[in-house]
Amino acid sequence: MKVKLRKNEKFFTQVEFEDVNYSFVNSIRRSLVSMVPCLAIHEVDFHMGSLGAYVDEETGEEKEYESISAMFNEIVAHRIGMLPIPTDEKTVEAFAGSIGDDSKQPDIMYSLHKQGPCTVYSGDLEPVNGDASLVIPETSVPIVKLAEGQAILVYAKAKMGTAKQHAKWQTVVAPRFYQAPTLTVSSGKGSKTVIDTVGKEHFKKKGKNHVIEDPVLAHEAIKKAESLWNDEDAKNAMTVTRNKTHFILEFETTGAMEAKLALEQALKSLDSHCKDFMTSLESAA
C-alpha cells in the first residue's frame, strides 16, 4: 500500500491511496463519519422567570423581560447542541477514553444571555472560563429570534462523544472517495473542443493522444468536460479509464477539529475496532 497526502489544509484533507481495495477506503470513510471523538453540547439549562427589566418605549412603563421565545426550549437546545465545539489534540487524549463515563467528562461550560428584540447567534454562546480556544468557530449560525420583552439565559455543558451516539458529535462532513481516473483524448474530430475546454496545459502528449494521468487533475478535467456530453464528436474523442486499486479520499470538518487530527483519530479508532473484532473471533473459535 502507498499513501500520499495530496492536500492538508486546516479543515480539509485529500489523501491518495494505491494498491488498496474499495472496502479498505470505505472503512476509513465510515470511521471518519462515526468514530472520531469530539466535543459537543450535551446538557442545556434554561433560566426560567424574570430576566431583568426594561422601559417600554411607547408607554414609558417599566416591564420585565420574560424567559420565553418563539421556539420551544427543546428546539433551542437542539440547535445549540449541533454547534461545533472546538476540540484539540490534548482534549482528545485526555477525555476520549472517558466516553460513557460522565464522572470523567471535561468540565467545559458555556453561557448565553440575550435580550430582545434581536437574533441570537452561535457567537453569543461564550465559554464561561473565557478560554479563547473554546470559542465557537462559526459565529453567524442563527439560533432563535427574540421579540421585545423576550430574553434567554442558558448554561450549557460540553461532553465528549462520537457520532455513533448522535450526529452532534460528527465533526467530519462530506467524506468522499473515487477511483483514480485517467483521461485520454484521441486525435481527430472533437479533440480540440475537449482540450480547449479542459486546458491544454493539463495534458501530456502520448503518440497521437493527449493524456491526463494525475488522478486529481483527471477528476477535475472530467467534471469540466461534463458540459460536452451533448457534443457527440467531443464525447467520442474522450476515453476515461479507472484503476480499481487506486483511490482519492477527501473530506472536510465542521471546524470543531482540524482535518489532520480527525484523520489520525479515525485511523486509531478503526485500528482499535479491528483488534477488538479479531479478539472476539479468537475467543469464539
Question: Do residues 156 and 44 touch, judged by C-beta distance below 8 A?
Answer: yes
Identify the H or E element spanning 160.
strand 151-161
Question: Do residues 16 and 6 touch, judged by C-beta distance below 8 A?
Answer: yes
pLDDT at 10: 95
Three-class SS string for 45-75? EECCCEEEEEECCCCCCEEEEECCCCCCHHH
Q: What are phi and psi of 91, to 5 degrees?
A: -65, -40
Place of cell 479509464: 241
Q: Is 96 helix (H, G, I), strand (E, B) or coil?
A: helix
| Side-chain half-sphere CA neighbours of 169 within 13 A | 20
Q: Is 266 helix (H, G, I), strand (E, B) or coil?
A: helix
User: What DSSP designation does 84 have?
Assistant: P
pLDDT mean values, one per 10 residues, the chain (285 residues): 94 97 96 96 90 72 85 95 95 89 88 93 93 91 93 94 94 95 92 92 92 96 90 91 97 95 95 88 78
Calpha distance 285→25 (Å, rounded): 28
How many CB atoms are located within 10 Å of the residue 141 CB?
16
232-255 tens-digit pLDDT:
999 999 999 999 999 999 999 999
Q: Is 37 helix (H, G, I), strand (E, B) or coil?
A: coil
Question: Do residues 112 and 152 touch, judged by C-beta distance below 8 A?
Answer: yes
Question: Do residues 122 and 76 touch, judged by C-beta distance below 8 A?
Answer: no
Beta bridge partners of 209: 206
Calpha distance 102→39 (Å, rounded): 13
Calpha distance 239→242 (Å, rounded): 10
Q: Which domains does the chain have, with CATH numbers?
A: 2-35+173-251 (3.30.1360.10), 40-166 (2.170.120.12)
User: What DSSP designation does 151 have?
Assistant: E
pTM of the model: 0.86
Alpha helix segments (H runs only) across the chain: 22-34, 73-81, 89-95, 191-198, 215-225, 232-237, 259-284
